Amino acid sequence: MFEIEYRHNFPLEAADVAAVFDASGIRRPTKDLARIERMFANANLILSAWHEGKLVGVCRALTDFSYCCYLSDLAVDKAFQKHGIGRELIARARSVIGEEVALVLLSAPEAMGYYPTVGFEEIENGFIIKRAR
């Protein structure tokens, strides 16, 4: 088991986030560090997981802290997966937002089986206008 330190709204370097995204398998624009930087600068709930001073997991969300929270990114370096880090990042997000706030997300097809194991229900009443790039 790894010793993991969790941090709440700790400033992250775009290159470190991109490295975790790449190491996790999540698809994000990791070659565009300015965009990664904007993604995190404009989020209002960021939780991170660290092992021996290295970023190994990240959870980025947008919330009003009253009704709804959109979990935009959940990524854990594959070398650290299956040790409860993603589950803990979600639990910490839920603790911050409280019981009155719904936690929603869009899942990549390959992660659809994971989210029910950490307490999410699949819903069918959603819609999306996809990004152009």
Q: What pLDDT digit, counting tens, does each position of 39-49 carry? A: 999 999 999 99
Q: Is 96 helix (H, G, I), strand (E, B) or coil?
A: helix
Name residue, tokens 């880090």.
Answer: 85
The CATH number of the structural domain formed by 5-118 is 3.40.630.30
pTM: 0.93
User: What pLDDT shows up at residue 58?
Assistant: 98
User: What pLDDT shows up at residue 14?
Assistant: 98
All structural domains of the chain with their residue ranges? 5-118
Give φ, ψ of 84 to 5 degrees.
Answer: 85, 10
User: What pLDDT shows up at residue 126?
Assistant: 83
The DSSP symbol for 7 reads E
- Cα separation, 120 vs 91, whole angstroms: 12
One-character DSSP codes across 39-86: HHHT-SEEEEEEETTEEEEEEEEEE-SSSEEEEEEEEE-GGGTTSSHH
- Cα separation, 122 vs 106, whole angstroms: 10
